[in-house]
Amino acid sequence: MSRINLVDPKSATGTSAELLGDIHAAFGATPNMFKAVANSPAALASMWSSFGALGTGRLGAKLGEQIAVAVADRNDCHYCLAAHTALGRKAGASAQEMAEAQRGQSDDPRTAAALSFVRKLVDARGQIADADITALRVVGYDDQDIVEVIAHVALNLFTNYINVALAVPVDFPGVKLVREAA
């Protein structure tokens, strides 16, 4: 049970109503996470615009979803792990690729480097070393890519914290956390 009210899109007003309508149109439903965030029109606008901006970024949807599951697993966020696993599959990732991403792994060297960096960034709360940036550069990431990877992490920390702290009910098919299984 959620620790806060999940805003009913039918009774929402103002900015929240408008954004929940956009979200419903994008998903064909209104996920519970957005219903929780809709309690703050400013937070909802921030989250939704961040998804939109990063969705058109250079890293692409597939890598964005792989980053999301890696971050979700580190933060024990059942909601984001389930949602982004489903979205990753829609973005062209196989079930195996999403399971590997959850562990911070990939057969693709560029993806593996990004996911390794993401896990270090989350675990170290941003306190990374020069060598961590160099490891990204070695596989071809430039400044734009590196900033975009960090932006994906920041957005996913926001969503993870909303879902974990507020106990938002998962409304996507469940996926087992790797950290929980370990």
Domains of the chain as residue ranges with CATH: 14-55 (no CATH), 61-181 (1.20.1290.10)
Mean pLDDT by 10 residues, the chain (182 residues): 96 98 97 98 98 96 98 97 96 97 97 98 97 98 98 98 98 80 52
What pLDDT was estimated at residue 176? 83
Q: What pLDDT score was predicted for residue 141?
A: 98
Q: State the pLDDT at residue 175.
A: 86
pLDDT for the residue numbered 180: 54
With helix as H, strand as E and coil as C, how does the chain read?
CCCCCCCCCCCCCHHHHHHHHHHHHHHCCCCHHHHHHCCCHHHHHHHHHHHHHHHCCCCCHHHHHHHHHHHHHHCCCHHHHHHHHHHHHHCCCCHHHHHHHHCCCCCCHHHHHHHHHHHHHHHCCCCCCHHHHHHHHHCCCCHHHHHHHHHHHHHHHHHHHHHHHCCCCCCCCCCCCHHHHC
pTM: 0.95
